[in-house]
Structure 1
Amino acid sequence: MTDRIVVVGAALYDDGRLLAARRSAPEELAGRWELPGGKVEPGERGEDALVRELREELGVEAEPLARVPGEFDLGRGYVMRVWRARLLAGEPKPLEDHDELRWLGPGDLWTVDWLPGDIPAIHALTES
């Protein structure tokens, strides 16, 4: 078994809308959209990483609810695990690695250019 770097992604919902974040860095990902999140630190639980990353990246407090089934290959040894999450406090702002945020209603999910690794996760969200 090879070492994989686990990344958490937040399916952050508010009033039935999903939050999407547009990457500003690194250059090869800039301009594409993703679920906000980040790397799980050694010894950290995925749910705790999700709360920490949303605080750091968006300046919000959120509550992880349920993990979306599956793991999503991001390439180069990275794998993403996604949790549905609920916004508890704060207004999301693009603080790190993003230059725009967008709340997407159910009919708007495919109006942004998702990163390839996020596309299977978005499909899983709509099916679960």
Structure 2
Amino acid sequence: MTGLISVAGAAVVDSLENPKWLLVARRSAPPQFAGMWEFPGGKLEAGESFEDALHRELLEELGVTVRLGAEVEPQAGTGWPLNERAVMRVWFAELLDGEPRPLQDHDELRWVPLGNGDEASTLPWIPADLPIVQALLERVASGLLG
């Protein structure tokens, strides 16, 4: 296999224009990540764009359709490193249709407030997602979502 595995993630918020709440998902597997929180999403399939992968994954994992907003851009490179073999790109997303349910890979969903960032930043996140959480909270606090 050549190149890195590409993963698309969504920071699902209650509003792209004025986000107050973030939807987070708790992993049910694999064992080393079970019970930890993450951004919903998944690997790109062959020939699939990040945006198309997000729409597919959110429908499969949560049963929802979304409107995508701005990307939570990585500090450097072409994505947020997940490990030595995979990178993730994350977009803000707003629900269009459906009530989020943990259909695949998750055992719980939770809306957490974004106001002070305390609850969002103190959850037991998958370690690779922590820098993304911090960048997201900084963007929300500064109002730079567009």
Matches within 5 A, 1:44-59: 44-59=48-63
User: Per-residue CA shift, 1:22-50, capped at 9, x if unaligned?
Assistant: 00011111010001000011111101111
CA displacement 1:30-72 (0-9 Å, x = unmatched):
0100010000111111011111100000000111111111121
Structure 1 window deviating more from structure 2 (23-32 vs 67-76): it is 67-76
After the TM superposition, list the runs of 4 or more consecutive aligned residues in structure 1 that deviate by more than 6 angstroms. none
Work out whether 1:92 is the aligned partner of 2:111. Answer: no
SS of 2:88 mapped into structure 1: strand
Structure-1 separation of matches of 2:43 and 2:23: 18
Secondary structure of 1:86's counterpart equals strand
TM-score (norm 2): 0.83
Report sequence identity in percent: 54
- Give the letter for the 2:14 counterpart: D
Q: Which has the higher strand share?
A: 1
Counterpart among 44, 68, 83 of residue 64 in structure 1: 68
| AA of the residue aligned to 1:59 | G
Deviations 1:67-100 (A, max 9, x none): 1111211114011100011110111000001000
Please state if 1:114 is matched with 2:125. Answer: yes
Structure 2 residue matching 1:66: 3-state secondary structure? strand
Unaligned runs of 5+ in 1: none
Structure 2: runs of 5+ lacking an equivalent: 140-146
RMSD: 1.2
Q: Which residue does 2:81 correspond to in 1?
A: 73
Bigger Rg, structure 1 or 2: 2
In structure 1, C-alpha distance between the alignment counterparts of 2:104 and 2:96, rounded to whole Å: 20
TM-score scaled to structure 1, two decimals? 0.94
Please say if 1:8 is aligned against 2:12.
no
Matches within 5 A, 1:11-26: 11-14=11-14, 16-26=20-30
Alignment-mate amino acid for residue 41 of structure 2 = G
